[in-house]
Amino acid sequence: MSFLGFLGKTALITGNVARVTTKFAAKAAIGTAKLTGKVVVVAVENPGKAAIVTVVAAATGGLALAAAPAIGAAVSAAGFGVAGGALSGAAATSAGLATLGGGSLVSGGLGMAGGSALVAGAGALGGGAIASTLTPNHKKPTNYKSAG
């Protein structure tokens, strides 16, 4: 195969990869737009519940973030991670949060920041889910008709 033939095949493969990647990215964007549209419709139809769920999710996420060091220490003490329960104090907190974050930054994980974000996200998700379940629906009437 000549050098020009090699360049031609490389360009063809690169073009195919770019086409497939663009196709998947477009499908993902359309799916995200549909989901966002549904969330907006639910919030417009039920603004009181949307506000309550948002406030509770923010509050529980903040509380979980504040509790992240204790949760990290508990994870380390339970034997997760490299140290396997042999650490205490700040070292246990750091090791536990790094374990929750997928490992240290050096090993390719998100480190303590990733662990803290995971704990805060789990707290917000749990609080929002509970608030959504316990808050009654009070839908306000809408003036639009479905296109379907």
Per-residue pLDDT tens over the stretch 60-84: 999 999 999 999 999 988 888 776 6
Cβ atoms of 89 and 72 closer than 8 Å? no
Residue 23 has a pLDDT of: 73
Measured distance CA(18)–CA(31) in Å, rounded: 20
Q: State the residue for tokens 């929750």.
A: 100
**In Å, how far are 2, 17, 70 from 122, measured between CA atoms?**
56, 36, 15
Q: Has this prediction a pTM greater than 0.75?
A: no
Query: For residues 141 and 92, which has the higher predicted lDDT (pLDDT)?
Result: 92
Residue 114 has a pLDDT of: 94
Per-residue pLDDT tens over the stretch 97-115: 999 999 889 998 999 999 9
